[in-house]
Structure 1
Amino acid sequence: MRLALTLLRRKMPHGNIFIGKDRIMPKIKEGHMKNVKNRLQQEEENMFYLRNPYLTLDQSWGHAKELGKHEKWLRNKYLEGQKCKPNVTIEERYKTLRTTDVWD
């Protein structure tokens, strides 16, 4: 009985089984390799577009001004400011307490 348990027992790593130098590594399957290849292809395509931009620096200079991006940004900031509650001072907060103050 003891011999069977010893022979059938699987060696487990010390500590957490998912981290450290003695961790149990998952088996790599073909689906994993396919995902890695797809991610590498996507990364290579992204690097290609970063190396070869659509517009040159001279062409891209001032394109935001042509599109009116700064004005849109200013308008959005103004609208966000309108949504905020107005500033309230401490005197305004405690004004209701002063109504019960009666001086003879």
Structure 2
Amino acid sequence: MRLTAILYHIKNKRPHGHVYRGKHRIVKPPTMEDLARLRCDFEREERNMLILRHPYLTLEQSRGYMKDIKPKTSLMEICRDYRNSRFQKHFTWNDQLIHLRSTDNWE
């Protein structure tokens, strides 16, 4: 009985941990569906590379095409601009602490 259990264990050895990951994983044989999917991926990649190699517009035509189109201002930007307009004065630390230099006399 023990010999049968040992031989059965050696014949049907499975990897430890995750079955399809790691050094001793079980590798699924590729199917025709996998090969078709890979072929579709390569064809899509080739179409994309063709578009990138031959663009629709030249560099001269594509320069400055967004000049006439103004970006929409969102409500958040309008509210932020209104809020900041009330507190628009910029100041420095020297302006804030100038009152401390009142007794600073040089001869």
- Percentage of identical aligned residues: 35
Q: Which residue of 1 aligns with 2:101?
A: none
Q: Which residue of 2 aligns with 1:5?
A: 5
Q: Which residue of 2 aligns with 1:54?
A: 56
Point out where structure 2 has 5 or more consecutive residues left out of the alignment.
84-107
Q: Higher helix proportion, which one?
A: 1
What does the per-residue CA deviation read over 1:19-50, in whole Å, with 9 as the maximum and x for residues that have no partner? 22111112211101110110110011001101
Return the alpha-carbon distance in structure 2 between the equivalents of residues 37 and 11 of structure 1.
Answer: 34
Larger displacement relative to structure 2 (14-23 or 45-54) = 14-23
TM-score, normalised via structure 1 length: 0.62
Q: Which amino acid aligns with 1:26?
A: K
Return the alpha-carbon distance in structure 2 between the equivalents of residues 23 and 83 of structure 1.
Answer: 58
Which has more radius of gyration? 2
What does the per-residue CA deviation read over 1:34-78, in whole Å, with 9 as the maximum and x for residues that have no partner? 101101100110011011110010000111114x0xx224x23xx
Point out where structure 1 has 5 or more consecutive residues left out of the alignment.
88-104
Q: Which amino acid aligns with 2:8?
A: L
Q: Secondary structure at the match of 2:36?
A: helix
Write the mapping of 1:1-104 to structure 2, written as runs, cut at 5 A: 1-9=1-9, 10-66=12-68, 68=69, 71-73=70-72, 75-76=73-74, 79-82=75-78
Aligned pairs, how many? 80
Residues 83 and 16 (structure 1), Cα distance of their counterparts in 2 relative to 1, 3 Å cut: farther
TM-score, normalised via structure 2 length: 0.60
Following TM superposition, the consecutive aligned residue runs of length 4 or more in structure 1 with deviations greater than 6 angstroms are: none
Q: C-alpha root-mean-square deviation of aligned residues, in Å?
A: 2.5
